[in-house]
Amino acid sequence: MNRLEKYYGLLKDIYGKSIVEAFTVKNKNDSKLTMNNELDNLKAKKDYQRKENEGCITCKAIYRNPHFSKRNLEFPGWIGYLDFSGNTPAKEIMIIGESPPKLKDQINIAFGLGLYTIEDDGKLNFDQLKKIYSEEEAQLKGIIKNQREKNKLWEYLNLLFLNKLDIIKPKIYITDLCKCNDDKPENNKVNKNKDMWEKCLSKCLIEEIKLINPKLIIFQGGSSYTFVMRYLKSERLIKSKRSILEETERYYPKPGEPDYYKKSFSEPCFGRFPLNGKNYYFFKIYHQAYFVRWFKGLEGTQIFNYINQNSQFIEKKILKEVLNIN
- Give the pLDDT confidence of 8-53 residue by residue, as tens digits: 999 998 888 888 888 888 876 778 998 876 544 455 454 556 677 7
Task: Please say whether the structural domain 75-322 has been given the CATH code 3.40.470.
Answer: yes
The pairs formed by 238-245 with CB atoms below 8 angstroms and a separation of 24 or more are 238/273, 238/274, 244/271, 244/272, 244/273, 244/274, 245/269, 245/270, 245/271
Cβ within 8 Å of residue 48, ≥6 positions away: 15, 19, 72, 73, 75
- Give the pLDDT confidence of 96-114 residue by residue, as tens digits: 988 877 666 777 777 777 7
| pTM, rounded to two decimals | 0.86
Cβ within 8 Å of residue 239, ≥6 positions away: 233
Q: Could you tell me how far CA 175 lies from the centroid of its own chain?
A: 4
DSSP-assigned beta bridge partners for residue 272: 281
Q: Domain extents for the chain?
A: 75-322
| Positions in the chain short of pLDDT 50 | 39-41, 44, 46, 148-149, 185, 190-191, 262-264
